[in-house]
Amino acid sequence: MKSYMGIDVGSVSTNIVLIDEKGKLIEKLYIRTNGQPIDAVKKGLKLIEEKIKANGKSVEIAGVGTTGSGRKLAAVIVGADVVKNEITAHAVAAMNHVPGVQTVIEIGGQDSKLIIIRNGVVSDFAMNTVCAAGTGSFLDQQAARLNLPIEKFSKLALNAQAPVRIAGRCSVFAESDMIHKQQMGHNLSDIIAGLCDALVRNYLNNVGKGKEILVPIVFQGGVAANEGMREAFRKALNTEIIVPENFDVMGALGAAFLAREAVVQNNQKTVFKGFDTVDHDFKVKGFECSGCPNLCEVVEIYENFQVLARWGDRCGKWTETHQELKQVSFN
Amino acid sequence: MKITFPHMGNLWISAKALLEGLNLEVVVPPPCTKKTLSLGVLHAPEFICLPLKINLGNYIEAAEKGADTIIIAGGRGPCRFGYYCRLEKEIMDDLGYNYEMIVLEPPEKSFFEVIQDIRAIAKCSMLQIMNAVRTAWLKCCVVDEIERKVQMIRARESCPGLADGIYKEALKDIDSAQRGKEIISIKRRAFEALNEVPVDPKREIVRIALVGEIYTILEPFANQNIEKHLGKLGAEVKRSLYLSSWVNDHLLGGVLPLESTKEACRLAAPYLNYFVGGHGRETVGSAVKFSREGFDGIIQIAPLTCGPEIVAEAILPEIYLSEGVPVMTIYMDEQTGEAGLITRLEAFVDMTRRIKFSEKDSDLLILRG
């Protein structure tokens, strides 16, 4: 069966999906990046191949798309037909799942986005600019501080009787407010519900500033798993919030759709290197270029001792020469 | 006296030509780098805007090359720039540098006041002054013309980097040229070379306007080379400000028939009817102007904590609703990681391209569901 692969390498999680020619999801995978994107991609490929085999399916990869902050790295490792930013990928996935969607709220590990869609085209978007308060990492951190698994943490908010007021502007302020309320004797569910309200308020004031939020509204990204956050959005926007079934892998799904579009449109053969890429030896070497006082941190990616790609330089002297340098030995 | 000045894009070429034409010894600070920024950040107040931090770095690096006098513009109104000269002098004094500071205040009435300020610094004849001004002005205009051309080619060239190579060479030649004729022939040669850069005719070009605070839109180091990134993404860039039009507006009293920000100020009403300092009103007005000129997207750039631009930012969504051209704001500070910037630019260009070409691609929309 012909299928398309989408890979989303985010700061916190790495997601891989496979869709068939009609866009139906065949297989999905959500694993932690753990700060090691190359290993995560290799591990992901291996797991998804095992999953396919275990289900007795045979697939032929006809196209690959990558997205997320590690999209470029993932693309050179697996061989991708499309490398796309997260905004486009998430919007495409949301449009596929909820026809007529006008607003996409996406909150991931490090950033939060708001995408405004009108007439099937992204017409405006915003991303958190200066601070990461209210993103998945902060919620993770708070759950760990309270010694609660994140799943339990997310459900506790629903039991709140009287949510307390927590400052949402900055995660440091939020944390000191939470500690103050906890030491005053407020119960945990009221504090967590208060935190969710604060984060939603912060999101709407910061990311949603000046944007027209119209229904249908889709909420996706890792944080959409958090029932407290869903409820807080429902309350703040006073309307129904749609959380799609595959909310946690929407970026990867979007990348897969985009790969399908590119391959079909250009009638091209995929550059996917195959599942056995996982056995290849990838190494990353970095050095500080001393050509000028910018001291750029140049990164070199090696595949089986050959330079695959280089980036990180401002002037382009390393990036643009990597084509000819494929034969450089690794020592 | 060895005179220096802060960097701001290609300003150094004209400033150097002017000052050298007045028989002054000039020290151009080394180009802005991470080192410049680190030096500035170390000695600047934490919450000050980015240009001051880079200025300080320029002065420290220029002092290493023997500079002892700084020339900088003054200013008035609610923007902190008007106070830069005093604050920078205090900081440099505290650090033990023996800098003299010459402040060129914006003229109240005419260019003649600027000439008088110049005469106070340089003891030379009126003829010499006029010659120096003419050469500097010519260089300034030629640099801007070539840059405009580069902004067009960058978006279209099949092999990224060619236009920038020609641009870099041309700047070097213009800097060393002495006579008007030479400068004109450099311009001709640069245009010829740029016209020969192979372009990809199939690329779907979008036009993006950059508006915002003058320093961050003119100095590529301060805006993380945003124009090059946009060019690579296939976006033709135009700025609300070019050095020549700024000089014409602010120093020459707008006597020459160049594109002026006066029109932008007029178009800012009814969204913003007052001078809010810096280029706040110009940002609002330029956004209106570019929307009406058919640009596909507008990007506002400003240093973090910039008051006038914060005022403008709050008004821009209103302009989007009435004029229909998407606007994005990007704040610049000491961050040097480019991933976040590139993601936003890519998403923005992608969006404007899909809006612009969506009718043509309607079958694709169906394919996507």
A259 or A313: which leads in pLDDT: A259
- Lowest-confidence region among A153-167, A239-253, B283-297: A153-167
Residues in B whose CB is inside 8 Å of some CB of A read: 30-31, 33-36, 160-161, 225, 304, 314, 316-318, 320-321, 326, 328-331, 339, 343-344, 346-348, 350-351, 354-355, 358, 364-365, 367-369
Assess whether pLDDT exceeds 50 at residue B279: yes
Confidence of residue B325 (pLDDT cuts 50, 70, 90): very high
Return the pLDDT at B251.
75
How many other C-beta atoms lie within 10 A of the C-beta of residue B10?
23
Assess whether pLDDT exceeds 60 at residue A328: no
The predicted complex's ipTM stands at: 0.79
DSSP category for residue A231: H
Assess whether pLDDT exceeds 90 at residue A56: no
Assess whether pLDDT exceeds 90 at residue B123: no
Q: Which of B33, B339, B354 sits opposite A69 (nearest CB)?
A: B339
What is the rounded distance in angstroms from the CA atom of residue B92 to the CA atom of residue B193?
Answer: 44
Return the pLDDT at A307.
81
Query: Does B369 contact A86 at a Cβ distance shorter than 8 Å?
Result: no
Residues of chain A with Cβ-Cβ distance to B364 below 8 Å are 261, 265
Q: Which of B34, B350, B369 sits opposite A99 (nearest CB)?
A: B369
Q: Where do the domains of chain A lie?
A: 2-91+251-279, 99-243, 282-321
Confidence of residue B312 (pLDDT cuts 50, 70, 90): very high
DSSP category for residue B106: P
Return the pLDDT at B366.
41
- Tell which A residues from 119 to 148 touch B, by Cβ distance under 8 Å: 120-127, 129-130
A227 or B123: which leads in pLDDT: A227
Assess whether pLDDT exceeds 60 at residue A329: no
- Lowest-confidence region among B20-29, B201-210, B249-258, B357-366: B357-366
Confidence of residue A256 (pLDDT cuts 50, 70, 90): very high
Give the tens place of pLDDT for each residue, A94-119.
999 898 999 999 998 778 899 999 88
CA distance A185 to chain B (A): 37
Q: Which helix (H) or strand (E) holds B167?
A: helix B162-176
CA distances to B15, B126, B251, B263 from B110, rounded to whole Å, are 20, 17, 8, 20
Average pLDDT of chain B to the nearest whole number: 90
Percentage of chain B with pLDDT > 90?
A: 69
Residues of chain B with Cβ-Cβ distance to A257 below 8 Å are 368
Residue in A with minimal Cα distance to B320 = A124
Residues of chain A with Cβ-Cβ distance to B339 below 8 Å are 69
Residue in A with minimal Cα distance to B327 = A124
Assess whether pLDDT exceeds 50 at residue A322: no
Assess whether pLDDT exceeds 70 at residue B333: yes
Query: Does B317 contact A211 at a Cβ distance shorter than 8 Å?
Result: yes
Query: Does A23 contact B33 at a Cβ distance shorter than 8 Å?
Result: no
| Fold equal for A2-91+251-279 and A99-243 | yes
User: Stretch B253-265: mean pLDDT, rounded?
Assistant: 78
How many other C-beta atoms lie within 10 A of the C-beta of residue B177?
21
Return the pLDDT at A134.
66
CB pairs under 8 A between A and B: 84
3-class SS letters over B40-61: HHHHCCCCCCHHHHHHHHHHHH
Residues of chain A with Cβ-Cβ distance to B367 below 8 Å are 260-261, 264
Query: Does A87 contact B369 at a Cβ distance shorter than 8 Å?
Result: no
CA distance A85 to chain B (A): 6
The CATH architecture one would assign to domain A2-91+251-279 is 2-Layer Sandwich (3.30)
CA distance A319 to chain B (A): 11
Say yes or no: A321 contacts chain B, CB-CB below 8 A: no
Average pLDDT of chain A to the nearest whole number: 86
Q: What angle do CA A53, A54, A56 make, to 5 degrees?
A: 65
Residues of chain A with Cβ-Cβ distance to B348 below 8 Å are 125
Residues of chain B with Cβ-Cβ distance to A37 below 8 Å are none
Residues of chain B with Cβ-Cβ distance to A320 below 8 Å are 160-161
How many other C-beta atoms lie within 10 A of the C-beta of residue A51?
16
A67 or A137: which leads in pLDDT: A67
Coil, strand, or helix at residue A306? strand
- Tell which A residues from 245 to 304 touch B, by Cβ distance under 8 Å: 257, 260-261, 264-265, 292-295
Q: What class has domain A99-243?
A: alpha beta
Q: Which of B31, B161, B320 sits opposite A124 (nearest CB)?
A: B320
Return the pLDDT at B363.
44
What is the rounded distance in angstroms from the CA atom of residue A182 to the CA atom of residue A173?
Answer: 14
Assess whether pLDDT exceeds 80 at residue A171: no
Residues of chain B with Cβ-Cβ distance to A99 below 8 Å are 369
Residues of chain A with Cβ-Cβ distance to B346 below 8 Å are 84-85, 88
Confidence of residue A132 (pLDDT cuts 50, 70, 90): low
Strands, E assignment, chain B = 2-4, 25-26, 69-73, 100-104, 206-212, 235-239, 297-303, 327-332
Burial class (CB in 10 A: 0-12, 13-18, 19+), A170: middle
Assess whether pLDDT exceeds 70 at residue A310: yes
Confidence of residue B249 (pLDDT cuts 50, 70, 90): confident
User: Stretch A82-90: mean pLDDT, rounded?
Assistant: 93
Return the pLDDT at A130.
59
Token reading at A50: 């095992």
Query: Does B364 contact A124 at a Cβ distance shorter than 8 Å?
Result: no
B254 or B98: which leads in pLDDT: B98
Query: Does B351 contact A125 at a Cβ distance shorter than 8 Å?
Result: yes
CA distance A82 to chain B (A): 13
